[in-house]
Chain A
Amino acid sequence: MTGKLLSLALRNVLRNRRRTIIAATAIGIGLAAMVFTDGLMIGMSDNLIDSVTDTWLGDAQIHREGFLTTYSPELLVDSAAEVLDRLDRDPRVVASAPRVLAQGTVSSAADLRSVILVGIDPERESRVSRIDDSIVGGEFLREEGGEGILLGSKVAADLEVGLGDRVVVTISQVESGIIYQDMIRVSGIVETGTAAVDESMSFVSAGKAQEMLGLPEDGFQEIAFTLSDRRLAEQADSNFWAGYSRGGNTALGWPDLMAQLDAVLAMSDFSTLIMAVILFGLVAFGIMNAIFMSIYERIFEFGVMKAIGTRAGRIVSLVVLEAAWLAIISIALGSLVGLAATWLVAQQGIDYTGIELSGATFREPVRPVLTLQQFIFYPLWVLLLTALVGLYPAVHAARIRPALAMRRSL
C-alpha cells in the first residue's frame, strides 16, 4: 500500500503542474537563498579568519601564563627552545615562529609614536605570517638581520620617515628597567591592511630585540604557529592544547586570542540562523498554502475516498506524502539554483577588500563557499518542515465529513 500511496501522492502533485511548478519555484528559491547566504557567510568568515591568522596572528600562540593580560615583557615562554623543537616535530603543526614583544617608542625628527616592538626570526616568521609579503617599500629583514627596522605604514607616515631614514627606538630593559635607546635605519615599510599592525607595530630581528631588552638568546614572549587543520584551533577541549599548556605556558587558538572576532562570527552565525528561520517560515507558509489549495480543489474527492472506506490516517499519510513530493521537487530545483548562483558568484567574489571588521580586514574578495552540508541539512530541513506543515492541511482533509463534502451527491 505504501508504494501505491507514494505513487498516488506523486500523481496528485503533478496533477496541476503549473501550480506545482510555481510552488516548487517559491520554495526552491527559499532554499537557494539559504544555500547562497550560508556559503557567503562561510566565505566571509573564512576570509576574516584567514586575514587575521595569516597576516600576523597565526592559528595559535603560546605565551607565559598572564602575559596576555599584562603584556609584561619579563613573562617569557618557558623553555622556548624546547617548545619550538616540539612544535617542529609535531605533525599537526605546519610552522612556528618565536617573537619578542615589548612596548616602546619610535621617534623621528618630526614626531614620536608609541609602538609594539616585535623581534622576529625572519626565516620562521615568513612561514607563519604575511609580514614578508606585506613589504610595500624596502625589504624584509634578513636572516642575520640586526641593522634595519620595519615600520608599519601608518607609523612611518606619522613619523614622516621613509626608507633609509633613521629613527630612534626607546625601550625599557626587562631586568634592570634601564632605558635603552638605539638609532636604527628604516629598511622597510609594512602595510598589511590590518590596523593593529600598520598603525602600531615595528619589527626588528629577534636578536636585536633581545639585545635591546636584555633578554637571553631563547627569551621570547610569544610563539605563533600554524596548524595543518585550522579547525583544531576551534577545538578548545582538544588535548593538543593541554600538551603545550604546561610549565607555566598557555597555548591558545585564534578564537581565544581574537575573542572579539570570534564573537562577531558567532553573531553572524546567529544572524544566519535568524534568516534561516524567516526563510523557512516563508517556505512553510508557501507549502501550507499550496497544499490547502490542492485540498480545497479536491474536497469532493476526499469525501468520496472517505466514503468508500479510506481511513483518516491514510488520508493524512497521502497529504503529507504529497507535501513531501512537493518538497523533493523544490529541493531539486532549489539545490540546483543555489549551486549555480553560489558557484557563479564564487568565480568573481564580492569585493569587500580593505573593509575592517573587529580587527580583521578583508584582504581578498569574499567568495561564497559550497559545502556538502548545505545540500544535506538545508534540504533535510525543507523536507522535515514540509512534512510538519503538511500535517495541518492533512488533518484538515482527514476530518472532512463525507456527507458534507459530497452534499450535492451521495
Chain B
Amino acid sequence: MTGSEGLIVAENVRKTYSDDGVPVEAVRGIDMVIREGEFTAIVGPSGSGKTTFLNLIAGLDSLTQGRVWLAGRALGEMSGRELSDFRRDNIGFVFQAYNLIPVLTAEENIEYIMLLQGRPREERHARVLEILEMVGMKGMENRLPGKLSGGQQQRVAVARAMAAKPAIVLADEPTANLDSTTSGELLDMMRDLNRTTGMTFVFSTHDRIVMERARRIVVMRDGMIAEDSRQPGGPPQ
C-alpha cells in the first residue's frame, strides 16, 4: 500500500494496550483505504476497536504496528508539533459529548481552530457566519454552550469541525447523546454538507440512524474488519 491510494490509508494497523500489565489487542492488523468524499460508518459492538481505530487514523494515539497515511502524509513520521498542526489543518473532530469549550460562545468555539491557524479576524467572522448558516444555527453565535440544547451543541461542534475546511471529519458516536429526531436532522445536515462540499466523513457508531445514511459501512469485530460494504450512490472506487 502507498499513501496515495486514498485520503486515509491504513496498512496493517495494530494497537495493543496494557491493561494492568495484561496486553490487550484492541486493533489487530487492519488494512483500509478511505477515499475523498466518502461518508463512511465504522460500526461494531462496544469493545470492537472502532474508537481505537479512529484514534489511530487521527494521529491521537500511537500505533503498535503498521502505518497510516492521511492526505498523503505518513502520521508516524511527524513530530508531536507537526502532528498537532496537521490535525488542526486537516482533521475536524466531532465528539460524543460535544466537548465545546464551555466558556467560549458558539462563535468563539467555531473560530478557535482558525484562531490557532492565525487567520485574520474578518475572515474568521465571515466563515463563522457562513458555517453557522450551513448548520442551521444562524443567530446563535453569541450563546454559550450551556445555553444550547444537546442537538444545538452538536451542530456547533460540527460547525467547529468544518470551520477550517479540513480534508476529513472524524466523528465518534456523534448521535449517542441525542434523541432520534435530532440525530436524524444532524445526520441529514452532515450528509448534505458531504454532498455540497465534498468533505469526507468517517463515523464510529452503532446508531442505526447513522448506518442508514452512510454510503459505506465497515463492520468491526474483535479489532478486525468483519465486513466492508458500500451503498449505491457512493463516490467512484
What residues of chain A have their CB less than 8 Å away from a CB belonging to chain B?
1, 4, 8, 11-12, 14-15, 300-301, 304-312, 314, 401-403, 406, 408-410
Contact = CB atoms under 8 A, between A and B. Distances in A.
Contacts of A401: 60-61
A312 B84 contact: yes
Given A312-B81, A402-B60, A307 B93 contact: yes
Contact of A1 (B88, B89, B118, B204): B118
Contact of A311 (B58, B84, B95): B84
Q: What is the size category of the interface that chain B forms with chain A?
A: 35 or more
A1 B115 contact: yes
Contact of A410 (B81, B118, B160, B204): B204
A410 B172 contact: yes
Given A402-B60, A410-B172, A304 B95 contact: yes
Contacts of A409: 51, 95-97, 99, 172-173
A4 B99 contact: no
B88 A308 contact: yes
Contact of B81 (A1, A301, A307, A311): A311
B75 interface: no
Contact of A314 (B54, B93, B116, B171): B116
B158 interface: no
Nearest to B111: A4
B172 A308 contact: no
Nearest to A13: B103
| B89, B101, B172 interface centre (most CB from chain A within 10 Å) | B101
A403 B60 contact: yes
Given A408-B96, A409-B51, 13 more contacts: A8-B103, A11-B103, A301-B101, A306-B84, A308-B87, A310-B88, A312-B84, A402-B60, A403-B55, A403-B60, A409-B99, A409-B172, A410-B58
Interface in B84-109: 84-85, 87-89, 93-97, 99, 101-104, 108
Contact of B51 (A300, A304, A308, A410): A410
Nearest to B52: A403
Nearest to A406: B95
| A15, A305, A401, A406 interface centre (most CB from chain B within 10 Å) | A406
